[in-house]
Amino acid sequence: MSDSGVYKFIRGRLPRPCAIHASAARALAFLLVLTGALSLSAADQPIAYSHKKHIAMGLQCIDCHSMADIGPAATIPSVAKCMLCHATFGTDKPEVKKIAEYAAKGREIPWQRVYGFEKQALVKFNHAPHVRAKVECATCHGDMTQADTAQKLVNHNMGTCLTCHRQKGASQDCATCHY
Ligand code: HEC
Ligand code: HEC
Ligand code: HEC
Ligand code: HEC
Ligand code: HEC
């Protein structure tokens, strides 16, 4: 797993010393806290993370969901990955302080899952072959570049799986998708 996208971002954005007068920076930060606070109310997650904002900064899906091209699960990034940037960026913001508190306690952020199957459906899904076959994330998850915290934008059922498997000549054996 590679953090290179995140490191490239940090190198590109670290402020040069004395680039901004400190008090001006504090005033700007205060303004951002005020505007930030207004948009937080809709979140039912422990932290008001925004996909839209982070992707607008140039981050790729794989920078955070770093197993999607190599493993069965795409994975949710650990709090340590957030802290690669948030030890430096936005440290005075209430939502970012919460991230630092989880990290300081050595706890992961308890994100609520959005997608997944009932245990009794006995489904096995694997991201990697789909990403390698160039099936876009958006085909199965909708346009996450415009989302704040994730919403279920696409329903996953046997019909949606099989329709595409038929079209693309992928396996339709029961054992491909079921234990
Ligand atoms: C590659 C760097 C980077 C990574 C990784 C990153 N962020 Fe950010 N994030 C930023 C930057 C830069 C901002 C804007 C900070 C500012 O406005 O001062 C930001 C803003 C935020 C804000 C909004 C703060 C506010 O109130 O305006 C939240 C919340 C946030 N990030 C959560 C997270 C979480 C949770 C993670 C981990 C899953 C994460 N971020 C990972 C760079 C990053
Ligand atoms: C062919 C459809 C499909 C594609 C393409 C796909 N996903 Fe998924 N994704 C799923 C399904 C189905 C689940 C639920 C899997 C489960 O719970 O077993 C899921 C779950 C997830 C999760 C939850 C955590 C996890 O690992 O289970 C994340 C995050 C995620 N996908 C991100 C991505 C990203 C990023 C991409 C593109 C790089 C992507 N997905 C491409 C179908 C897809
Ligand atoms: C800076 C890190 C970061 C980036 C970049 C990122 N995500 Fe996420 N993603 C998260 C976090 C944190 C969560 C858990 C909070 C939530 O549900 O929004 C999440 C949740 C998700 C989920 C819901 C998974 C589930 O079942 O709960 C999907 C789907 C997803 N992301 C897809 C994407 C796609 C597609 C992209 C690229 C367009 C992307 N993400 C880019 C951090 C990121
Ligand atoms: C938009 C098209 C599309 C959708 C939707 C889709 N798949 Fe696939 N699936 C593919 C393609 C293409 C492959 C790769 C075939 C290959 O590598 O030869 C694949 C491969 C797989 C594999 C690996 C098969 C193997 O031989 O290793 C599994 C498991 C799988 N899909 C399960 C699912 C499940 C479960 C769903 C529904 C939740 C789903 N797929 C939805 C296109 C899709
Ligand atoms: C390409 C993937 C795929 C293949 C192939 C597939 N299924 Fe499914 N199947 C699924 C998914 C995904 C679900 C779960 C739907 C849900 O949770 O809503 C499911 C659900 C089911 C259910 C309902 C389980 C429940 O508790 O709701 C049955 C029964 C089932 N499949 C039987 C089969 C049989 C029999 C075959 C072979 C003829 C087969 N499936 C082939 C993906 C697949």
Distance 140 CA to ligand 5 centre (A): 17
State the pLDDT at residue 44.
84
Structure letter (DSSP) for residue 107: -
Q: Which of 140, 165, 171, 177 to mutate to test the pocket of ligand 5 (most atoms within 8 A of CB)?
A: 177
C-alpha closest to that of 140 among 148, 132, 130, 149: 130
State the pLDDT at residue 11.
62
Pick the residue whose CA is nearest to atom 38 on ligand 5: 174
Alpha-carbon span 9 to 26, nearest angstrom: 22
Distance 130 CA to ligand 1 centre (A): 29
Alpha-carbon span 98 to 115, nearest angstrom: 25
Query: How is residue 50 written in tokens?
Result: 């925004």
State the pLDDT at residue 3.
62
Specify the pTM.
0.90
AA letter at 153: L
Alpha-carbon span 161 to 172, nearest angstrom: 9
Residue 37, classed as helix, strand or coil, is: helix
C-alpha distances in Å from residue 14, one per residue of 85, 112, 151: 10, 32, 32
Intra-chain end-to-end CA distance of the chain, in Å = 27
State the pLDDT at residue 25.
39
State the pLDDT at residue 68.
97
Per-residue pLDDT of the chain (179 residues; tens, 9 = 90+): 346 666 666 666 654 433 333 344 334 333 333 333 333 233 389 999 999 999 999 999 999 999 999 999 999 999 999 999 999 999 999 999 999 999 999 999 999 999 999 999 999 999 999 999 999 999 999 999 999 999 999 999 999 999 999 999 999 999 999 99
Distance 143 CA to ligand 3 centre (A): 11
